[in-house]
Amino acid sequence: MKSQTDGIYDEVLDFIRHPVEGRFDTLALRVFSFQFDRNPSYRRYCEAKDQTPDTVRSWREIPAVPTAAFKELDLVCDRPQKVFLTSGTSQGPSKRGRHSVPRLDIYRASVLPNFTAHLLPDLAELRMLLLAGSPALWPHSSLTHMMEVVRQEYGGPDSAYYITEAGLDLDGLSRSLREVCEQNKPVMLAGVTLAFHQFLEHCQVHRMAFRLPPGSRIMDTGGFKGQKINLSPAELYRRYEIVLGIPQTHIVNEYGMTEMGSQFYDNVLADYLNGLSRPRHKRVPPWVQTRVVDPETLEERPAGSTGMLRHYDLANCGSVMALQTEDIGHTVGDGFEVTGRASGSEARGCSLLIEEILRTQ
Amino acid sequence: MTNPITLDGFFLPPPIKVTTFTKLEFGPVQIRLPVLTATTLSDVINQLLTAQEQYLSKQSTPAILEMIDAAVARWLKPDDPAREIAERVLPSITGLSPAMIRLGLTRMLEGYRRDELYKILRHELGDAHLLDEFQPKKENLPGLTRAVGPRITTNILAGNIPGLGIADLIATLLTKSACVCKVSSHEPLSPALFAQTLVQVEPRLAYCLAVLGWSGGHPEAKSLEEVAFDRSELVTATGSDETVTAVRQAAAQSQPVSGRFIGYGHRVSLGLIGREALDNLKSVAQAAALDVAMYDQQGCLSPHLFYVETGGDHFPRQFAKALAEELKRLEHELPRGTLDTPTSARLHQIRSVAEIKQADGEEVIVFGSETGTLWTVIYEADPAFVLSPLYRTVRVKPIDDLMHVIPLLELWRPYLQAAGIAVSEPRRVLLAEALARAGLNRLCPVGRMQQPPVGWPQDGRRFIADRVRWVDLEMT
């Protein structure tokens, strides 16, 4: 049975499936109006800022909610079908961010075409070696949910998760990769950067390297957030190339967050297959808009200048569409690149950084 | 566009010469530092040891005090060339506003005058001449005693507060120790600049100093650290916990077991305001605002939050509002410095989260600068001690009795430094006793947190006394 609110959800679903140029603004304003009505916490925040459906004229003016607020409040418009939790490693279990999703079909609709466009533009199916926990192991992880959607849709035989209760199954993964090399059929390795890093270190120690079959690709995500690993993306990709034999054109970084229904992917594989040569950057799907704003003035930064990333994601129609992230970046062409994270925590002298001390608790 | 200014962040005693340099860039300012080899550093140390033996070890404490005072007096004159350079250039290096640099330097230097240093020597050693000659022991204990400083000290300096390194330099010279200072890349200017002033006062004193730079943790730095630590009887390090831990480990490997190490790591401070102090709401808020604004909260003495007692004539939230008004006033008098994007973004995030909690009906009230993140006061009923993202962001928390703050500090015990307190006379001692046991090292009036007297017990240590060793002369 459909509730009265399914109207806006269905509209968004329709737009994600069949984006129409120029319609984002209208739909975004309708979603804002809906969220303003359905979400008292968000409404009061907007009212306090004097930015309400009566005064907001463009999607750019929709009040953005800081992603950290998902730790404090339930920001949802309807009864959720699923609640994703942030890993919350640094602030203990009570301070995990919660993203409640009333309609998983919208989530799925956003995941699939975007993934296909950037990781599978050339193939219908691929064996997936997933460097993540399975849905049973990581039931609250949005990343695992996303991967499972993709695996069910495009994962070839023997696709599997390689993180177990005991951690990353280094031997299992090595065995699978040897098998892949023998079978000579391309595969996709997808998962968290930290797990990739662990595997690379393992390979280095055991003097292992693979030449994965041509067409094989990597999707990594998450970076080294909160870890004391000092490795630039360029250096990391070079190691992927050396240890796994996958060229840079086939290494696609994903940027996503628990609080957001849609993801962003690097352009490199799609561009390579289309014969384009552009700098690596994140592509923005048609149902998302991203702005780079100055944290002091909140004005949009000029093209190429650094600022805070703000995303307006229609796939978040059941929670909050306008998100103020903690990520720092700049525009590249019609996309963007992430270059850092907010930190009041520069360890200067004897003043102290928040994460550092919380980690010691 | 102003032309870039290049200044030296190093100081080497003659005849040592270095031919290769590296530059640290701070917008229009470049600071030049030498690229050293272990051999050159070894030569530097030989030179310093000779100077220490032939000159510094033979100077009396009053003579050293006189020379330091002369240098400090120069820096206290606004038209002194070195002071003028410091004021002009430190804003680019530290990000702090020119007004903040001016006020900070003056307040800090006033503490290093002869009389102040003399008093602290007497206080810490019991006798200001104990570093000059044997003195009879107190309490009729038999024999004589004296203090002897290290022949050479290596100080790894912090850069969070401009001019802070000068204190280590002065303390080292007061113990008649030659001094290797490794500057911080965050503030690599003032130690060398001060050394230049000392040259003008008395070159022989200045030539007991070397101010250098190297990147701690880098492989090439290892050989330099080995040389410096191996030959230093005392190594001190101020900085992040990471830095201090790394230096401690390196020093432990290079120093003989008898070598000494003093580390000053991460510290946090807070304010406590009694209900009776709220009678003078404006003046206590004014004092608290100064503590928050000084050095944009970058010091270990800067308060992260204020606990304010309920049950007085004014509510804690009225204090929060008054504090906000005073921070707004200081926005003009003592402007905040410039921030990089990640820091600014962090402040924005913290403030927005508080705003959304307030909108959601939680007991949170946000007071903030109208534009940007220049200052933020967050009144919050939740009593938990939380850290501030700094740069003039401060929380105000109501508490029914200041003594109830004590258990909230338990988790932070190893990191506690100072508490600014505003309570009436009869309560002060009781509260102070409890705070001392809770781990705090300095208890001072609100409004004085960032104006510590020279010799304040940083990390619970003494300024001079912890740097010396004791020698007894027994007569019978």
| Contact call for A73 and B387, based on CB within 8 A | no
For A38-56, what is the mean pLDDT? 94
Does domain B268-445 correspond to CATH entry 3.40.309.10? yes
- What does the longest C-alpha to C-alpha distance in chain A come to? 64
- Angstrom CA distances, B67 to A204, B129, B195, stand at 59, 16, 12
Say what the pLDDT of residue A343 is: 79
Say what the pLDDT of residue B201 is: 98
From the list B338, B272, B327, B276, the residue with the least C-alpha distance to B304 is B272
Say what the pLDDT of residue B135 is: 94
Give chain A positions within 8 Å (CB) of B359.
Answer: 41, 44-45, 47-48
Give chain A positions within 8 Å (CB) of B158.
Answer: 348-350
- A276: tokens are 């384009």
Q: Indicate if the pLDDT at residue B31 is higher than 70.
A: yes
| Contact call for B358 and A345, based on CB within 8 A | no
In a domain, A233, yes or no: yes
pLDDT digits (tens, 9 = 90+) for B306-351: 999 999 889 999 999 999 999 999 999 999 999 999 999 999 999 9
Residue in chain A closest to B299 (alpha carbons) equals A351
What is the number of structural domains in chain A? Answer: 1
Q: Indicate if the pLDDT at residue A89 is higher than 80.
A: no
Give chain B positions within 8 Å (CB) of A295.
Answer: 341, 344-345, 347-348, 373
Question: Which residues face B418 on adjacent strands?
Answer: B442
For A268-281, what is the mean pLDDT? 95
Read off φ and ψ for residue A213, nearest 5 degrees: -55, 145
Cis peptide before A139 (omega within 30 of 0): no
Which of B266, B353, B390 shows the shortest C-beta gap to A69? B353
For B210-237, what is the mean pLDDT? 88
Say what the pLDDT of residue A65 is: 96
Of the CA atoms within 13 Å of residue B456, those in its CB half-sphere come to 21
Percent of chain A exceeding pLDDT 90 equals: 84
Output the average pLDDT for chain B: 94
Q: Indicate if the pLDDT at residue B42 is higher than 50.
A: yes
Rounded Cα gap, residues B307 and A68, in angstroms: 24
- Angstrom CA distances, A166 to A111, A175, A197, A218, stand at 29, 17, 17, 23
Expressed in angstroms, the distance from the first to the final Cα of chain B is 74
Give chain A positions within 8 Å (CB) of B376.
Answer: none
- Angstrom CA distances, A119 to A250, A270, B343, stand at 8, 7, 34
For B211-219, what is the mean pLDDT? 79
Give chain B positions within 8 Å (CB) of A48.
Answer: 355, 358-359
pLDDT digits (tens, 9 = 90+) for A119-167: 999 999 999 999 999 999 999 999 999 999 999 999 999 999 999 999 9
pLDDT digits (tens, 9 = 90+) for A190-204: 999 999 999 999 999
From the list B435, B14, B466, B369, the residue with the least C-alpha distance to B208 is B14
User: Scanning the structure block, which residue is given the tokens 């590249």?
Assistant: A332
The whole-angstrom distance between B470's CA and the closest CA on chain A is: 30
The whole-angstrom distance between A322's CA and the closest CA on chain B is: 13
Contact B440, B415 (CB under 8 A): no
Percent of chain A exceeding pLDDT 70 equals: 91
Cis peptide before B15 (omega within 30 of 0): yes
| Contact call for A68 and B349, based on CB within 8 A | yes
Say what the pLDDT of residue B146 is: 96
- B407: tokens are 């258990």
For B16-39, what is the mean pLDDT? 93
Say what the pLDDT of residue A23 is: 95
For B187-205, what is the mean pLDDT? 97
Residue in chain B closest to A40 (alpha carbons) equals B360
pLDDT digits (tens, 9 = 90+) for B142-181: 999 999 999 999 999 999 899 999 999 999 999 999 999 9
Number of Cβ within a 10 Å radius of residue B299: 27
| Contact call for A66 and B341, based on CB within 8 A | no
Count of A-B CB contacts under 8 Å = 151
Rounded Cα gap, residues B419 and B301, in angstroms: 8
Residue-range definition of the domain harbouring residue A178: 105-283
Q: Indicate if the pLDDT at residue B1 is higher than 60.
A: no
| Contact call for B158 and A349, based on CB within 8 A | yes
Number of Cβ within a 10 Å radius of residue B85: 16
**Selected residue with higher pLDDT from A299 and B475:** A299
Band of the pLDDT at A30, cuts 50, 70, 90?
very high
In a domain, A35, yes or no: no
Contact B291, B445 (CB under 8 A): no
pLDDT digits (tens, 9 = 90+) for A93-120: 457 889 999 999 999 999 999 999 999 9
Band of the pLDDT at A4, cuts 50, 70, 90?
low
Contact B169, B185 (CB under 8 A): no
Give chain A positions within 8 Å (CB) of B184.
Answer: 349
Rounded Cα gap, residues A72 and A53, in angstroms: 24
- A267: tokens are 């352009």
In a domain, A309, yes or no: no
**Selected residue with higher pLDDT from A82 and B1:** A82
pLDDT digits (tens, 9 = 90+) for A220-230: 998 887 677 78
From the list B439, B300, B325, B450, the residue with the least C-alpha distance to B377 is B325
Interface test with A, best of B93, B243, B356 (most A CBs within 10 A): B356
Say what the pLDDT of residue B219 is: 75
Give chain A positions within 8 Å (CB) of B390.
Answer: 344, 351
From the list B89, B112, B77, B85, the residue with the least C-alpha distance to B30 is B89
Contact B47, B69 (CB under 8 A): no
pLDDT digits (tens, 9 = 90+) for B397-439: 999 999 999 999 998 999 999 999 999 999 999 999 999 999 9
The whole-angstrom distance between B282's CA and the closest CA on chain A is: 28
Say what the pLDDT of residue A141 is: 94
Class of residue A295 by CB neighbours under 10 A (exposed 0-12, middle 13-18, buried 19+): buried
| Contact call for B345 and A326, based on CB within 8 A | yes
Band of the pLDDT at A3, cuts 50, 70, 90?
low
Domain of A237, CATH number, reads: 3.40.50.980
Band of the pLDDT at A344, cuts 50, 70, 90?
low
Q: Global pTM?
A: 0.90
Q: Give SS3 for B473.
A: strand
From the list B232, B96, B136, B173, the residue with the least C-alpha distance to B474 is B136
Any idea where the domains of chain B sit in the sequence? 5-266+459-473, 268-445
Say what the pLDDT of residue A27 is: 97
The whole-angstrom distance between B303's CA and the closest CA on chain A is: 10
| Contact call for A295 and B345, based on CB within 8 A | yes
Interface test with B, best of A227, A309, A351 (most B CBs within 10 A): A351
Residue in chain B closest to A310 (alpha carbons) equals B345
- Angstrom CA distances, A288 to A306, A314, B159, B213, stand at 20, 6, 43, 48
Rounded Cα gap, residues B102 and B80, in angstroms: 13
| Contact call for B373 and A72, based on CB within 8 A | no
**Number of separate helices (H) and strands (E) present in chain B:** 14, 18
Which of A342, A351, A357 shows the shortest C-beta gap to B345? A342
Give chain A positions within 8 Å (CB) of B356.
Answer: 41, 45, 65-66, 69, 72-73
Query: Domain B5-266+459-473 in CATH: superfamily?
Result: Aldehyde Dehydrogenase; Chain A, domain 1 (3.40.605.10)
Residue in chain B closest to A295 (alpha carbons) equals B345
For A332-356, what is the mean pLDDT? 63
Read off φ and ψ for residue A127, nearest 5 degrees: -70, 130
For B100-109, what is the mean pLDDT? 96
| Contact call for B411 and A356, based on CB within 8 A | no
Give chain B positions within 8 Å (CB) of A324.
Answer: 348-349, 352
Using DSSP bridges, classify how beta strands A288-293 and A307-313 pair: parallel, antiparallel or unpaired.
Answer: antiparallel
The whole-angstrom distance between A123's CA and the closest CA on chain B is: 40
| Contact call for B266 and A350, based on CB within 8 A | yes
Torsion region of A349: left, alpha or beta (phi above 0 gives left; psi -120 to 50 gives alpha): left
Say what the pLDDT of residue B469 is: 96
Rounded Cα gap, residues B66 and B434, in angstroms: 40
Rounded Cα gap, residues B100 and A241, in angstroms: 50
For A37-60, what is the mean pLDDT? 95
- B363: tokens are 């007991």
Which of B356, B390, B412 shows the shortest C-beta gap to A73? B356
Number of Cβ within a 10 Å radius of residue A15: 22
Say what the pLDDT of residue A360 is: 33
Question: Which residues face A330 on adjacent strands?
Answer: A337
Q: Taken in order A48, A52, A54, A58, is the CA torsion positive or negative?
A: positive
Beta strands in B93-242 (DSSP E): 135-136, 144-148, 152-156, 178-182, 209-212, 234-238
